[in-house]
Amino acid sequence: MIGVFDSGLGGLSVLAALVDALPHADFRYFADTAHVPYGNKSEEQIQCRVLAIGEELASRGCGLLVVACNTATTAAVQALRAAHPGMAVVGVEPGIKPAAQESRTGRIAVLATEATANSQRLKHLIRDHAGNVEVFVEPCPGWATHVEMLQLDDPALAADVRARVEPLLERGVDRIVLGCTHYSFLAPLLRDVIGSRAELVDVAAAVARQTQRLAGGLAHGSGRLQLHASAHPERLRAALPRLHLGHIAARIV
């Protein structure tokens, strides 16, 4: 079984890509909804949650862990790997490299939680992979919570999306990296603002390919999905159709 986790619903965007890439694998998804959002928490608090979740998933028989959360990866993937030296751990990091390689204007942006935006790890990712491309980092407080509450049509959110993205476009940004897995569910809202001026960069499919490479025998299961959450587990299944993921509900056991 492959364990996948996030602070809440965001990692379902990664889970959907994983199910596409590994249709016969068994997955256990854990949403840490009692502690969402992670984006305004300290590195120590996030590490503590990630280690507890890793322990829980490993004890339930998961043989590979996917950290379907940029914020958790940034704060704690190294600690998680150290705690489970024999296990493959796949993290999610903002797609700076593909965005920088594809940019024609030489300017890209990253939308992320405050924790990711302010992290050393993101600074290093930019230093190592952006080359000469200029990178604008935009923290987006509150966006993950809107997704979590399924308030995807809230006019206040639409206004905030426009207020944050329009100035980036005016600076000539032509690639916008989704640096938080929750933001995949805001793609329609973002596209309304962006039009044809820029493209969104989402790494979910790349994370799924990396997981596929490491899955070995875990790729050959029964195609089952278990959904768990630290609070309101019933909301997880109910959210699937709202997030256009109704097709994975049939796998739930």
Q: Where are the beta strands (DSSP E) in the chain?
A: 2-6, 27-31, 64-67, 88-90, 107-112, 134-139, 175-178, 199-201, 225-229
Q: Which is nearer to ligand DGL, 74 or 103 (CB)?
A: 74
User: 100-124: b or e for each residue (b if 16 or more CB lie within 10 Å)?
Assistant: beebeeebbbbbbbbbbbebebbee
Q: Work out whether 71 is an interface residue with ligand DGL (CB under 6 A).
A: yes
Q: Work out whether 119 is an interface residue with ligand DGL (CB under 6 A).
A: no
Q: Work out whether 181 is an interface residue with ligand DGL (CB under 6 A).
A: yes
Q: Work out whether 93 is an interface residue with ligand DGL (CB under 6 A).
A: no
Of 66-74, 80-88, 157-165, 192-200, which segment contacts ligand DGL by CB under 6 A? 66-74
Q: Are strands 2-6 and 199-201 parallel, antiparallel or unpaired?
A: unpaired
Q: What would the x/- binding string for ligand DGL be over residues 130 to 149, using CB under 6 A?
A: --------------x-----
Distance CA(67)–CA(73), nearest Å, equals 6
State the nearest-atom distance from the C-beta of 58 to ligand DGL, in Å: 21
Q: Work out whether 13 is an interface residue with ligand DGL (CB under 6 A).
A: no
Asked if 69 is an active-site residue, the reply is yes
Of 95-103, 150-158, 178-186, 203-211, which segment contacts ligand DGL by CB under 6 A? 178-186
39 class by beta-carbon count within 10 Å (0-12 exposed, 13-18 middle, 19+ buried): buried
Distance CA(171)–CA(125), nearest Å, equals 22
By the criterion CB under 6 A, which residues form the site for ligand DGL? Answer: 6-7, 10, 36-39, 69-71, 113, 116, 144, 180-182
